[in-house]
Structure 1
Amino acid sequence: MRDHLGVETQRQWSDKAIARTTPCLLGLFSIVTLLASRLDCRARVRISTSAWYHKQRPTFADSLAAVRRAVWSEQGFAVSRQSADAAKLSPALRESIAYALCHAA
């Protein structure tokens, strides 16, 4: 896993904990990848880029941010949109804040 996915060396105290951690990480990786593949095209197209590095395909971090955004939109953002405070922000600013939070979390 370390060679293919970049998983770091585990730092647990017992052999049993080490034996549990890697399969759990692989399972979480698989779940996020499957959820990201089920998102609509607009959600998957958002690839974070920088001026010095252009990516052809989304990375796992991009997929994770897209899945976070989808989950947060269904769970929490739907409730907060109904409050009067959320209406004070412009849609572009709300989108920028959500984008930054999904990549930072």
Structure 2
Amino acid sequence: MQQHSTSPPPTGVPVPQILRDWLQELRMCFTAPSWEHVLVLVMGAVLAPGKRTVSACLRMTGRAEAQNFSSCHQLLNRARWNTHAMARHLLSMVVNRLVPEGPVVIGMDDTIERRWGRRITARGI
């Protein structure tokens, strides 16, 4: 007779406190349940080699067999959070961390890519 384990499946590697602290400024952009999924996805994205899909992120954190596996997919599919506000806030965090004082200089490359073909004019694009 086969015995079944009565303990629930492992929930995976806990999110380190240092990651929670680093991303705390983004906390206000998500609901409490969504925030936990965001932390797991970020941790998995940092750890995952190759393509950083939701599935790869969950596998790297030990949550591939979790019951709420689809919740992380739904977090990105439904996008009930403002992506533009999130991007602006994330850029601000990066700039403040890397360049706390002084101006930020952004360089632009204005070289023209020459492409040839039947549908492209001789001058290029």
Q: Does the TM-score normalized on the shorter chain lie above 0.5?
A: no
Higher relative helix content = 1
TM-score normalised per structure 1: 0.29
Structure number with bigger Rg: 2
TM-score normalised per structure 2: 0.25
